[in-house]
Structure 1
Amino acid sequence: MDSTEDTTSRMPPYSLRSKLLDDFRITISFIGKVALKKVNGFSKSMAIMVSVFLVRAIVGGNIVPQAISRIVNALKDEALNTAIFGFWLFIVSAIIYAATEFILFKYFKKLAETIIALKKSVIDSIRANGISDSPEDVVGRISSDIDFVIWNMNAVLVTLLPNIFTGIVAAYTVLNFNMYVGLVTVFTLTPYLMLAEYYSRRVEIARLEERHEYSVSIAYIRDVVYWRQENGFLSQVLSKWYRAILRVMWYDRVYWGVSFFTQFTSIGIISFVAVLQAYNGAIDVGSLAGIISATINAHSALLNAMWALCIQGQNVAAIKRIYVYFHGMNQRDRGVLETPLMQTMRRR
């Protein structure tokens, strides 16, 4: 436990390499070398999930703003047919969103199968090779970390993909309405990426410590329940876990607080620029309404997409704890896991 405390108490060093990209490489490596190999049909379920979110991105990022634009222009021009067409676009959008939710069931079913398969694989690996870590921590890795990795990997994918797709389509929609307003919109989206990079560089260390203390606490809780022996160890572990999870929650608040400020400030700036364009005759009222709608979609999407990458930073900590138990991990795999952050801590 001491070695974990020594490494996880240090703040990550500054580096020109992107922590977000390093974390993404680790996540993709885990999916490709573990999930796809251990679970039959996982690749097919992933393809279904990606296809669903592509369709939804087109609907939410383009069709809905176009529907709003048509309805507003119909009221201005007193064109009932145009308004009716806009209403039909909303109905079609609702049907697509509802239908695709049921299509996603196969993907979520496969996640549950993945958890079972990976736990069996880890147990088989331990039976064959034994363990070098503390038994208490290993119990936590099997009973808790595998579930944590799979469900957080799901949270990353189902948040990142639809929001990235929607954000790109929505930004493209604004560019189609008006190039000048579109460029301003794209510029105001960049702070989310910088904020996510800041978050991911700091949260992994706190999450590594939290996962370790949580795993150890499971074994101590078992001792209390079965043998009524506590000896003060459980209180110490829970106190360390509490300090670690507080750090994670603080970084969460930093991300969301700054992101919300960025979101609403940016929407206000873009709306002001769009109104000036409408006042100068560059766009009509319907286009103005469509721009504001697409801008809200773009900022909400990018805010949530970058949060998915933040979750990824937490999940990578747990992936590193269980990756070692899977067969076929060569030197290249270890190089993927050993990000500059972890290499620096190991040298200290």
Structure 2
Amino acid sequence: MKLFQFDNIIKDMKILAVFVKRYMRYRYIVIGFLLALTVFILRAYTNGSIVPLVIKDLADAVGRGNIIGGGGTYALMRLGIAVIIMVGTEWMLKPYFSSIARFIVDMKKNMIKKIDPTNGDRKDIVGRIASDIDFVAWNISSMYTTVTPNVLTAIVSSMTLYTLNPMIGIINILFIPIPLIILNQYVKRAEIARMGERMMYSESIYYIQKFVEGDCNAHEILTSSLNKWYSNIQKLIYLDRFYWSSTLAYIFLAPIFSILLLSMGNIRVTSGDVAGIIYTSMQIHSSLINGLWGLAILGQTIPAIERILNISERR
């Protein structure tokens, strides 16, 4: 039963909510996130509906031997619209990324006002301002730009697959809990490794500065810090491979099962239906995996978020 408990993910989301509520309430941040959301909705509709149906119609047109003309021409026109949407919306993301950069500057100014240099470990405080704020801001941005568009695409693709074949659509939805189980196991282990990595990174920055300033005794401690940092990074690299190898296998599992079901059930479908079902099924699960990776990024970011929140609590 414990395998199906997503307590680590829920805990991380609560910590993220505290950070966002406390620090990310600037008007320019809200506007940037809303503009990005508009882009993600347009792209989800494009990737999850327009493109799969274009593939279906083109495959049917090839089967009829008449690509240019009839349904084939209409499909190519819709494909052109999809290209315009994908390329055009890229420029709508510029204000969003600019808002993240501006937030990092404002956040550092805010944290400097709150820090008491005489209270706490100086080498750790340097790391929190110099590194953790950038790390957290860009990782939250990565999480948002990974989770939101991919989850929206997975939802739209699921609806499209249901219109192509209701039974296949329902079966693909039943596969969704599998990557959630994998993610929960990843997050639980990655947080521990990332906490150690962040602490050793902060410590190494401090002792590099001490060594450059002429403190020869700092060399031995710096070497130890770098070795510990490397050890934690190796753990994260292993966990990343665990996540991606497991989920990549999952991406192909649902489409293969769908095709086997079609063949065993003697379901009458056109070549276009088969092409659309395969593409849309893979789109659902690849989008879901990529979206969940955003939550995996969050799991690695939580230790740094807690370190920043801890500064405020010391005040």
Deviations 1:247-297 (A, max 9, x none): 1111111111111111123322223223445x431x322121111111111
Tell me if the contact between 1:121 and 1:326 (Cα under 8 Å) persists in the aligned partners: no
CA distance in 1, matches of 2:167, 2:118: 60
2:8 is aligned with 1:19:
yes
Q: Counterpart amino acid of 1:135?
A: R
Tell me if the contact between 2:157 and 2:283 (Cα under 8 Å) persists in the aligned partners: yes
Cα deviation for residue 40 of structure 1 reads 3.7
Tell me if the contact between 1:48 and 1:104 (Cα under 8 Å) persists in the aligned partners: yes
CA distance in 1, matches of 2:16, 2:90: 25
CA distance in 1, matches of 2:263, 2:87: 35
Q: Which runs of 5+ in 2 are unaligned?
A: none
Tell me if the contact between 2:128 and 2:308 (Cα under 8 Å) persists in the aligned partners: yes
Aligned to 1:285: 271
After TM superposition, the structure 1 = structure 2 runs for residues 69-218 of structure 1, keeping only pairs within 5 Å, are 69-78=56-65, 80-126=69-115, 129-218=116-205
Q: Counterpart amino acid of 1:291?
A: I
Query: Which of 295, 299, 303 is matched with 1:309 structurally?
Result: 295
- SS of the residue aligned with 1:41? helix
CA distance in 1, matches of 2:189, 2:156: 31
2:256 is aligned with 1:268:
yes
Tell me if the contact between 1:125 and 1:327 (Cα under 8 Å) persists in the aligned partners: no
| CA 16–212 in structure 1, closer or farther in 2 if over 3 Å, else same | same
Cα deviation for residue 228 of structure 1 reads 5.1
CA distance in 2, matches of 1:284, 1:16: 41
Aligned to 2:284: 298
Task: Give the alignment's TM-score, normalised by structure 1.
Answer: 0.84
Q: Counterpart amino acid of 2:240?
A: D
Q: Counterpart amino acid of 1:293?
A: Y
Aligned to 2:22: 33
| CA 219–311 in structure 1, closer or farther in 2 if over 3 Å, else same | same
2:246 is aligned with 1:246:
no
| CA 239–328 in structure 1, closer or farther in 2 if over 3 Å, else same | closer
- SS of the residue aligned with 1:104? helix
Tell me if the contact between 2:127 and 2:203 (Cα under 8 Å) persists in the aligned partners: yes
Cα deviation for residue 327 of structure 1 reads 7.8
Q: Counterpart amino acid of 1:258?
A: S
Q: Which runs of 5+ in 1 are unaligned?
A: 1-12, 330-348
| Deviating more after overlay: 71-80 vs 259-268 | 71-80
CA distance in 2, matches of 1:275, 1:201: 40
Q: Counterpart amino acid of 1:240?
A: K
| CA 140–14 in structure 1, closer or farther in 2 if over 3 Å, else same | farther
CA distance in 1, matches of 2:120, 2:270: 66
| CA 75–289 in structure 1, closer or farther in 2 if over 3 Å, else same | same
Cα deviation for residue 92 of structure 1 reads 0.6
Tell me if the contact between 1:26 and 1:316 (Cα under 8 Å) persists in the aligned partners: yes
CA distance in 2, matches of 1:327, 1:134: 15
Q: How many residues are matched?
A: 311
Task: Give the alignment's TM-score, normalised by structure 2.
Answer: 0.93
CA distance in 1, matches of 2:311, 2:298: 20
CA distance in 2, matches of 1:201, 1:293: 32
Deviations 1:50-90 (A, max 9, x none): 11101110110011001111111222345522101111111
Deviations 1:95-141 (A, max 9, x none): 10111110000000000000001111111111xx4453210010000
Q: Counterpart amino acid of 1:290?
A: G
Q: Counterpart amino acid of 1:248?
A: L
Aligned to 2:224: 236
CA distance in 2, matches of 1:107, 1:131: 37
| CA 228–15 in structure 1, closer or farther in 2 if over 3 Å, else same | farther
| Deviating more after overlay: 83-92 vs 15-24 | 15-24
Cα deviation for residue 214 of structure 1 reads 0.4
